[in-house]
Structure 1
Amino acid sequence: MESLMKLLLNRASEEDGEAWLRRCLEPATASEDEEEASCSTSQRTSAGQWVDEPAEERYPRRGMATRRSSPAAAGTEDAAVDENMAAEVGGGQSGGRTGGKRAASSRSPASSGRRGGTKKPATQAKKGGPSPVEVPRPPSVVRNQQPAVGQANKLQNSAVQSESMDRASQQGAGGPPVADLHRTVWILGHSFIHWAHKRATHRPYTVNLSLQPESFRVLWKGVRGLQWHQLHFHLSRLLQVWPPPSILVLHLGGNDLGNLRTVDLLSCIKRDLGRFHAISPNTVIIFSEIVPRLAWLSSDMRRVMERMRKRVNRAMEKFMPTIGGLSYRHIDLEGGVPGFYTSDGVHFSEIGLDLFNLGLQSSIEMAVVVGVGRA
């Protein structure tokens, strides 16, 4: 302490020492805030003890904390202030005089202390002296949240894309089967289904009957001359080869008219459809009603055959809702227009096949409304 007092007396005895001492003791102005930080904030009594100044004298204007420093530290801060002023003069050439003044006036004693390179104010302060007030820094958490959320979204999107690419690669390379999201539709019947399938392969509506390929996959099975008692055999084989159907469309029974009694035919139809519904309760069964013909191979009595056809269709219309299915009537073909048939009067012409396929498409769309969501 004696050495510090000697340095202080030597500095005061110099040529400009008295003016320097007055600047240290006088209240600081706006331009001398940085020099005030280097001055001592305590006075020494005649007894050699340190007495803290009142808070009003230590912080004359702003009430901000200043740190007690030695003359050597004050000289270091003066050099740092001169260096910063030189940097501001250099920046003022490009930014103008206004920017330099604003930067100089915004500096505070606390910030000048930080520029001086002292980062431990608690160790520099004397014991029993006032602890400096720390200015809290603004939180930076809010600023960092947005990039974190964006990074998480990017990672999630990349994971979804990689998963979809893995599924596609597995399917293309013959890997393990991936869960099929299609609604599988079976269309099974006699020669009408056989020729309708061939017609669909050459038409714009395709074999999928204008249904969305992402949602439906239509599978055809047409057996020429098929009768009802052969249905069980074909269904058993298809269940071993094809995926289970969400919708089953059956166009069958026309070849049985005239060969069986109407009562016996209806009994067989209801029995087989009831069994299939018990095996696959989530499948919607569509009974495609028997359409009229200009000529019947089993009988020459066209009017009698027409009455039998209508009787079967009415009975199936009442029965199908009991097993959760539906009966679809091809209204456009009910008139028996000769242009809809070929020369044999049994099979459909190209126009008739297009109308028939349009009816099959409508029946599948109706099945979606009835209950395909049960699967």
Structure 2
Amino acid sequence: MPKSKTKKRSGTDATENRPKRSRQSQGGTPVNSASQGGGDVEARESPLQGHKCLWIMGSSIVHWAERTARLDDPQLGFTKHNMSVKWKGCRGLVFDGLDKLMDSMLMEMPKPQFILIHCGSNDLTSEGVTGKMLIEKIQCSILRYQALFCKTTIIWSSILQRRYWHYAPLGAGKKIEKKRTRVNIAIKSFILKNGGQYIDNNNISAKEVNLFHTDGTHLSSLGNSILINNWKTALQSLINSTPDNSLLTLPTATL
């Protein structure tokens, strides 16, 4: 996990409440199918019949989740399902950088069956980026990815709460939390209507001190384990879903 910095930086606490025990709840929401959008990058189809691939892409949350997964199984137990997992987490990534990251992955390897995206939290404190602007950016990119990966399921992992928002004005925690909630609600509705999958990480609360690293931004080992389990629960349901992609409800994520 990243080392806590002693240098003072502008920011704001997400909460002052510190319950002693962690609670866990849902790990996902319904799935349906469709695809649309536009794109401009040519990529290769997977040459391995029956082999599946998952890309997990995003910001430092993905970077540190991979570190935690490597202590046990970076393939998350999906080898038995003939599926490999490719991690791509970039620390400090903002959403504008995700398209370039996606394009580079497309040029390097075959198209995957699943792409799980966890990104957007760093944009919430970006100067000049409103919630509406961020929502529109994410929606445009989702449509583009669905055009580039017409046979791929795009999965959105909800933006997490934080105990401390770096680079935010002091006292802006409640405003940023409302912005985060608006973005998650809008993207959940949008991606489910357009054939994707949404994972609701609401069992990771800023009130739960032991789920966060001492910097208040990244997750602790326990927090990362819960997040990874949310992802695994959702993906397991996708793998086991019926061929006609009928609606299903993902089970509760537990450790």
Q: What TM-score do you get using the length of structure 1 for normalisation?
A: 0.50
SS in 1 for 2:139: helix
Matches within 5 A, 1:182-331: 182-203=51-72, 206-259=73-126, 260-299=129-168, 300=170, 301-331=172-202
Q: Is the contact made by 2:75 and 2:84 (CA closer than 8 Å) also made in structure 1?
A: yes
SS in 2 for 1:332: coil
* Structure 2 stretches lacking a partner, 5+ long: 1-45, 246-255
Structure 1 residues 254 and 371, CA gap change in structure 2 (3 angstroms): farther
Q: What TM-score do you get using the length of structure 2 for normalisation?
A: 0.72
| 1:281 Cα deviation after fit | 1.5
C-alpha distance in 1 between matches for 2:123 and 2:243 = 30
The amino acid of 2:159's aligned partner reads I
| 1:178 Cα deviation after fit | 6.8
| 1:269 Cα deviation after fit | 0.3
The amino acid of 1:326's aligned partner reads Q
The amino acid of 2:66's aligned partner reads H
The amino acid of 2:62's aligned partner reads I
SS in 2 for 1:331: coil
The amino acid of 1:312's aligned partner reads V
Whichever structure has more strand as a proportion of its residues is: 2
Structure 1 residues 353 and 248, CA gap change in structure 2 (3 angstroms): same
| Higher Rg of the two aligned structures | 1
The amino acid of 1:198's aligned partner reads R
Whichever structure has more helix as a proportion of its residues is: 1
Alpha-carbon RMSD: 2.0
Q: Deviations over 1:127-167 (max 9, x none)?
A: xxxxxxxxxxxxxxxxxxxxxxxxxxxxxxxxxxxxxxxxx
| 1:344 Cα deviation after fit | 0.7
Structure 1 residues 372 and 210, CA gap change in structure 2 (3 angstroms): farther
Whether 2:239 is the aligned partner of 1:368: answer yes
Structure 1 residues 193 and 224, CA gap change in structure 2 (3 angstroms): same
2:50 to 181, 201, 217: 181
C-alpha distance in 2 between matches for 1:285 and 1:340 = 27
The amino acid of 1:194's aligned partner reads H
User: What is the percent sequence identity of the aligned residues?
Assistant: 26
* Greater RCO (Cα-Cα under 8 Å, separation 6 or more): 2
* Structure 1 stretches lacking a partner, 5+ long: 1-176
